[in-house]
A and B are shown apart, each in its own frame.
Chain A
Amino acid sequence: MTDVAIREPSSLRNKLLSVWENRWTTRLMPFVILLLIAFAFSLATGGRFLASRNLTIILNQALVVATVATGGTFIFATGNVNLAMGATTVLCETVSAMAFLAILDAGGSVELGLVVMFVISVTLAVFIMGFSAILSTKLNVRVLYVTIVMMTLLAAIQQALLGGSTLTIPSKITRMLANNNVHYIIFGVFFAFAVVIFHFTKIGRTLRFIGTNEICAHQTGKFKKDYLLLAFVIGGLGMGLGAMVAIIRSGSVSITTLSSLNMDTMLAIVLGGMSVFGGSKSFVYAGVIGAVTVTALQNGMVMVGVDSNLIQGVRGLLFLLLVAAAQKRPHGLPAPEG
């Protein structure tokens, strides 16, 4: 009979593997990737990529997606995919801009118009998302399918409201808001709120647990229908606020505005290191990191002079590689009991 000596992993390979398997590696990988991208482009542009003005530009460009994606992580954490984020944001942008312009036309003050615009944008987004969640739970239909329907419906409403025209907020007002850093404040406050809720309260933990195993969550007293509604409400908040940031940034809305926002948001969340299946590997900052990574890539490619015909292709290929690097996949153990 042999007795078993305790076997310590002593080789360098095992040490490296331990680091690789550490939970912090998954969390920090997207940051590492972003830093590497920044380093590579900085090298390629003689340091201009990292000039403060350019970094500000990147942040501004990422802000809309970052705001919407931050709210989106609450929904994605439950293991659900929401395809109506873009349509909701744009519709809120449209309706709130219409309200603002109507108030100005009626002789109301700019302050009143702004307050009304803000309230309408947030309320409408929360309402739309809450409605979607209730539809999903009441009809027992997957969130994905409900949001596909909502996406189409919202786009049709926007088409009916806007047609071929473009709404423009007077540039003096958007400039004033931008100069007062309102867009940064909106994002900053929402992000801080999201971090606290997601990582320091029952809500965030429960949403992640539902994404990990819905049945197990139910057996620990956490009902999906209640928390899904909560996730959608917070997600809606992000969309309503994202609409405000978009207005400050571009000042106009037409039928083609932010047409790729949903895809950009999902890409940002995935690139930011969050699993597409949600669950415990969900981090609220994933959307922000991903959004910044996407815009940094775009910005960098223009700076280094990548042919515009190639940009799409290069971007797609890079995303594939970066997702492969950032996403954790199962190793494929057989029966764990063995």
Chain B
Amino acid sequence: MKKIFALLLSMAMILAVLPLTSLAQEKYIIGVAFQNVTSDTEIQKDYYTNELAPALGMEFIFSEAIKDTETLVTFIENCYAKGAVGIINYYTAGRGRGAEAADQYEMFFITQASKLDDATLDLEYNLGNCGASVDGMARAYTAAMESVLADGENHSVLMCTTAAVGQVAASHYYSTQAMLETMQNKYNLTYSKSIDEIINTDSPGEVDTGNPNIKIFLVPGTDNDKTLATISTPLQSGDYDIFVAVSGYANYTSAIAEVERAKNMDIKVVATASIEKQTLTGFTTLDPLGNPILNAVILNPLNVANAFCAAAIYNALNGGAEALKDADGNAAQLFVNPWPCPDAETYANIAKLDTEHDTYVINADDLQRLMVTSNPDANHDSYAEYLMELADIDAIIARKIK
């Protein structure tokens, strides 16, 4: 009796989670494959659903956190089964295999990454990348490092390099490079290996700087939990007073605060951050020694890449695929410049962006410039030009925040 009941209940559940209406056939179904699911993700989902979807006539399917290539391929296949015609991919390590899978199912594919996968450039349905500008990130990290080293004292750096090894995420690689070069120039360090070799070391460890008073410890790896465990020992040694993260820092603030309290020291934090309450808190909250938790952040515009990726797929579906490729007809790279944010005031303004239609950096009205149906000249070059304009945060704030 209980078994039959359990079976019937399962069937009822399956039928109950159906949407009540089937989707309108004229909408394009696009799969969005998130690498991590954080509070940012909800903000992005809202943007996709409330702003991009109506403007582009799309319906978006969102994935769970994609941890490996197998999961990405599975998601792509399931999207295909649902009738999707495009994929926006965030899982950088799987961009090659993902492009192949999407190409096999004739789905347009674009990745939010900073480095193209050479093996899949020529695939018909691969539209390339739209990701953080590596030069922009390098410049931003250089500026941020110089600002925290400006006091002339000796400092040691603990850095999470995330996907820098092998340039899986090129921006991570170049951000790490920028930090190492800045440290080298500042303290006349003589590294025993080349910077490239140092960054490409698979395992976490101390860098041989040639100067016993200046320590640098690098921690690669994309698994936040594993990284947190790995940084614990060097952090608790109290030897490192600057913490740098090439991607988010939020996972590590508690650990850092604990060490600051225990060792009665200030650890400066330089990281890529998101536009969220936590970042504002980071700027305005003081650590045990009366210093703000965050010292300098590099903010990646939250939804700019999303808009460009969605628009790129839209154009491809409307006959504009070739216009997005490079001169050789291969998948091309677009770069989104980060916004440097040295203080709370700047941050407060940036935080007002991307909250509603009027404040979205690229809202439905701005999108027209990217859509080939309203702007027949929209192509790779015009996209790149627009992205350069969007590097000027002050101009954006002036335009959007009245």
Contacts and interface: CB of A to CB of B under 8 A. Distances in A.
A257 B9 contact: no
Cβ-closest 4 pairs across A and B: A163-B202, A164-B220, A302-B78, A250-B69
Query: Which of B67, B75, B78, B100 is the most central at the interface, judged by chain A CB atoms within 10 Å of its CB?
Result: B78
Interface in B92-107: 93-94, 96-97, 100
Interface of B: 2-4, 6-7, 9-11, 13-15, 17-19, 22-23, 61-64, 67-70, 73-75, 77-83, 93-94, 96-97, 100, 119-120, 161-166, 168, 200-204, 220-223, 226
Nearest to B94: A252
The A interface is mostly helix, strand or loop, or mixed, namely: helix
Interface in A291-338: 295, 298-308, 310-312, 314, 317-318, 321-322, 324-325
Given A164-B220, A256-B222, 18 more contacts: A36-B11, A41-B14, A48-B83, A57-B80, A64-B70, A159-B203, A163-B165, A163-B201, A163-B203, A163-B204, A164-B222, A165-B220, A250-B73, A252-B93, A252-B97, A303-B81, A305-B82, A312-B64
A54 interface: yes
A166 to B, nearest CB: 5
B163 A164 contact: yes
Given A311-B64, A321-B13, A170 B70 contact: no
16 contacts: A44-B14, A44-B15, A48-B82, A51-B81, A60-B77, A159-B226, A160-B203, A164-B164, A250-B68, A250-B73, A250-B94, A252-B96, A259-B68, A304-B17, A308-B64, A310-B17
A249 interface: yes
A66 interface: no
A39 to B, nearest CB: 9
Contacts of A159: 203, 226
A299 B79 CA distance: 9
A171 B18 CA distance: 37
B16 to A, nearest CB: 10
A312 B15 CA distance: 17
A305 B61 contact: yes
Interface of A: 33, 36-37, 40-41, 43-44, 46, 48-49, 51, 53-54, 57, 60-61, 64, 159-166, 168, 170-172, 175, 246, 249-252, 254-259, 295, 298-308, 310-312, 314, 317-318, 321-322, 324-325
A321 to B, nearest CB: 4
Nearest to B62: A308
A17 B93 CA distance: 54
A298 B263 CA distance: 48
Given A54-B81, A256-B68, A325-B7, A301 B17 contact: yes
Contacts of B64: 308, 311-312
